């Protein structure tokens, strides 16, 4: 039931692009994306609702494929500040309870 994130880790040079995927075995109600820096709390990036449109947050965008039960996070022209662990959280009904993936570690180097 826990969503599967891939890849587990990514290393980029500043300016490169990356894609992080979040797949679920159950039908999705919504998908949340968060970024957590070491020793800090996760910070909300965006939410994708069933039937909703692709979302953007600065140079980060995300898509939601209901048929594949999958969401993808696109990081374009990465900046050093993008480094951290990215988590997806999925809702499968209206019980307001997110199920979290194990995270994708992203390191952006100069």
Partner 1 sequence: DGGITQSPKYLFRKEGQNVTLSCEQNLNHDAMYWYRQDPGQGLRLIYYSQIVNDFQKGDIAEGYSVSREKKESFPLTVTSAQKNPTAFYLCASSSRTPRLSASYGYTFGSGTRLTVV
Residues in touch with partner 1 (CB under 8 A): 2, 29-30, 32, 34, 40-47, 49-50, 87, 89, 91, 94, 96-98, 100-103
Least spacing, CB of residue 110 vs partner 1, in Å: 25
Q: Is the CB of 12 or the CB of 91 nearer to partner 1?
A: 91
Least spacing, CB of residue 61 vs partner 1, in Å: 16
Beta-strand pair 84-91/60-65: unpaired
Give how far Cα 27 sits from Cα of 72, 76, 90, Å.
16, 28, 10
Return the ∠ at Cα 86 (arms to 67 and 59), rounded to 5°: 80
């Amino acid at each position: 039931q826990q969503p599967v994130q891939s890849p587990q880790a990514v290393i980029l040079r500043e300016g490169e692009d990356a894609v992080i995927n979040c797949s679920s075995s159950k039908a999705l109600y919504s998908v949340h994306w968060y970024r957590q820096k070491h020793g800090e709390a996760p910070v909300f990036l965006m939410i994708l609702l069933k039937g909703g449109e692709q979302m953007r947050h600065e140079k980060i965008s995300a898509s939601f494929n209901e048929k594949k039960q999958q969401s993808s996070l696109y990081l374009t022209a990465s900046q050093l500040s993008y480094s951290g662990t990215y988590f997806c959280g999925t809702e499968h009904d209206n019980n307001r309870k997110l199920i979290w993936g194990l995270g994708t570690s992203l390191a952006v180097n100069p």
